[in-house]
Structure 1
Amino acid sequence: MAVKLTERAAEQVKQFQVEHNFGDEMVLRIGIAAGGCSGFSYTLNFDDTFDEKADTKYDCGGVAVVVDKKSALYLDGTTVDWYESLEKQGFTFENPNATKSCGCGSSFQA
């Protein structure tokens, strides 16, 4: 399995890339970092590097997504979506490997 972006999330990423004049070499890097209120926090940023030995690359609705192999252990099967309401907007993570998540959804335990 892999990390997936919903159609809404992919459209938001593409829009951001256009607004910031990112070229085709830029990829969306999804990962994890130690910390957050539940143990691990999700990371989401743009990067212009890809290492075939350390990373896995996916195409998600026309968006190049890169996940490092360590993060992939915790993110396998995760779906990234875009949420928008009157109160807030942003990316959400549906992670089948998370045994516990914090109330804000930005960190988890596996």
Structure 2
Amino acid sequence: MAITVTEAAANHIGNYLQNRGKGLGIRLGVKTSGCSGMAYVLEFVDELSDDDQVFPSHGVKVVVDEKSLVYLDGTELDFVKHGLNEGFEFKNPNIKDECGCGESFNV
């Protein structure tokens, strides 16, 4: 099982952690939401839980709990800019369907 991070995403995460002044990394998870069933969650990690898996990449750590890892295994986290818009992009090979607005998915 693995989660990967592009260099662009790692740089962005690293900058946020540096500006924040603390944190072990960033947590990637899923929650029930949206019209397709699940949505991604990103938040800072200050402490690890017993069921956390840590995926270091390009100098940053992505933390995923066991329940979310089932849905996220093989996902690549990227940071992209499209014109004036920028943000994280998830390349998840487990997705079977996404909603039209791109905010939620199901596996």
Same fold (TM over 0.5): yes
Moved over 4 A (4+): none
* Alpha-carbon distance in 2 for matches of 1:3, 1:28: 12
| Paired residues of 1:92 and 1:105 also in contact (CA < 8 A) | no
Equivalent residue number for residue 7 of structure 2: 7
Q: Structure 1: give runs of 5+ residues left out of the alignment.
A: none
Partners of 1:70 and 1:100 in 2: how far apart? 20
Distance 2:78 2:103 in 1: 13
Q: TM-score, normalised by structure 2?
A: 0.91
- Matches of 1:106 and 1:60 in 2, distance apart? 25
Q: Which of residues 49, 53, 75 is equivalent to 1:56?
A: 53
**RMSD (CA atoms):** 1.3
| Correspondent of 1:102 among 85, 99, 102 | 99
Name which of structure 1's ranges 58-67 and 70-79 shifts more when overlaid on structure 2.
58-67
Q: Over residues 50-107 of structure 1, what are the superposed CA-to-partner deviations in whole Å (9 max), with x where a residue is unaligned?
A: 12x3111110111111100000000000001001122311001010000011234332
The secondary structure found in structure 1 opposite 2:54 is strand
Whether 1:37 aligns to 2:49 is no
Residue 66 of structure 2 corresponds to residue 69 of structure 1: yes
SS at match of 2:13: helix
SS at structure 2 position matched to 1:14 = helix
Identity of aligned residues (%): 40
Q: Distance in 2 between matches of 1:32 and 1:21?
A: 26
Query: Which amino acid is 1:36 matched to?
Result: G
Separation of aligned partners in 1, 2:54 and 2:9? 17
Q: Measure, in 1, the Cα distance between the counterparts of 2:6 and 2:28.
A: 14
Counterparts in 2 of 1:104 and 1:3: CA distance versus 1, 3 Å: farther
Deviation at 1:37, TM superposition (A): 2.4
SS at match of 2:88: strand
Greater share of strand: 2
